[in-house]
């Protein structure tokens, strides 16, 4: 028998497809390749959108999502799972069912509810179902401040106030500050043991499509590689900042992070 060739860590992604290529599964795949991981993309939803905004979306049937992911889980050793757009409360139940096949595998939950342009990618009750049922299964969730406010049901909440509410449901929470109005971007990592780490970076002038997907995927990749949580958060934030600094504007709307080097 041939000696097996070692593979890069596999990250199972459960996310939507964005045909502009800026966000969703394409963002996940590119960000994971850049960490040295192999992305296994399961489609949860199709969207109709460009770099300006979302026009429509369709969530896949539960059976199709279970079939895609189960096939991969039976074939490959999944080292981490990254969740993006789920689109429906039923999809939350589907993910719980799939995670039952992956005991102990770290789950990074990006609670996607809106596209960068503001269009909805799921009703708020999808977020509440994620909070109630998926946060307890997650190693970490990565909401931006507007998402954290929706999830915490605190429309004007500060990051600290939102974190206090949300840490009732999970151990670690990274609230990103790109959508805030502070002069610099504060990305705050809150943990249930009371610790708070503030990762500050320079605010860049653009508005970006797929930055949250990039961050959560890079973080899942870093955990799959065996980094500890605070180290993985730092590496993923530094990587994401560089992709935004080098972003391009391929369409008429938001900038798209450049996640891979030009000289591939």
The helix/strand/coil state of 93 is: helix
Q: C-alpha 87: how far from its chain's center?
A: 14
211 contacts ligand PLP (rule: CB under 6 A): yes
Among 10, 115, 236, 247, binds ligand PLP (CB under 6 A): 115
Query: What is the spatial distance between Cα 169 and Cα 165, in angstroms, rounded to a whole number?
Result: 8
- Span of 75-83, 98-106, 127-135, 204-212 interacting with ligand PLP by CB under 6 A: 204-212
Residue 119 burial (C-beta neighbours within 10 Å; 0-12, 13-18, 19+): middle
Query: Considering only residues 69-98, where is the footprint of ligand PLP by CB under 6 A?
Result: 84-85
Cite the beta strand spans of the chain per DSSP E.
10-17, 38-49, 54-59, 78-83, 107-109, 140-141, 172-175, 185-191, 196-201
DSSP designation for 137: G
209 contacts ligand PLP (rule: CB under 6 A): yes
47 contacts ligand PLP (rule: CB under 6 A): yes
15 contacts ligand PLP (rule: CB under 6 A): yes
| Rg of the chain (C-alpha set) | 17
Among 91, 112, 126, 170, binds ligand PLP (CB under 6 A): 112
Among 11, 13, 24, 43, binds ligand PLP (CB under 6 A): 24
50 contacts ligand PLP (rule: CB under 6 A): no
- Which residues of the shown chain bind ligand PLP in the complex (CB under 6 A)? 15-16, 18, 23-24, 47, 49, 54, 84-85, 112, 115-116, 121, 209-213
């Amino acid at each position: 028998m041939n000696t097996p060739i070692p593979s890069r860590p596999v990250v199972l992604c459960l996310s939507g497809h964005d045909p502009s290529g800026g966000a969703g599964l394409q963002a996940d795949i590119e960000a994971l390749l850049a960490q040295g991981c192999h992305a296994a993309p399961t489609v949860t939803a199709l969207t109709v959108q460009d770099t300006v905004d979302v026009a429509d979306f369709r969530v896949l049937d539960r059976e199709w999502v279970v079939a895609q992911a189960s096939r991969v889980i039976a074939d490959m050793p999944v080292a981490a799972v990254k969740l993006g757009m789920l689109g429906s409360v039923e999809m939350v139940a589907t993910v719980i069912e799939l995670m039952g096949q992956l005991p102990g595998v770290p789950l990074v939950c990006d609670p996607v509810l809106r596209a960068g342009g503001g269009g909805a990618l799921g009703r708020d009750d999808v977020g509440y179902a994620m909070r109630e049922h998926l946060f307890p299964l997650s190693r970490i969730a990565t909401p931006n401040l507007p998402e954290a406010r929706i999830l915490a049901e605190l429309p004007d909440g500060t990051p600290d106030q939102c974190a206090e509410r949300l840490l009732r449901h999970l151990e670690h929470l990274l609230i990103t500050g790109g959508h805030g109005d502070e002069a610099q971007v504060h990305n705050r990592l809150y943990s249930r043991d009371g610790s708070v780490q503030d990762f500050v970076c320079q605010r860049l002038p653009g508005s970006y499509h797929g930055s949250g997907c990039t961050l959560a995927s890079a973080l899942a990749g870093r955990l799959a590689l065996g980094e500890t949580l605070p180290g993985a958060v730092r590496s993923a934030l530094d990587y994401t900042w560089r992709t935004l600094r080098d972003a391009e504007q391929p369409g008429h709307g938001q900038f798209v992070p450049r996640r891979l080097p030009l000289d591939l």
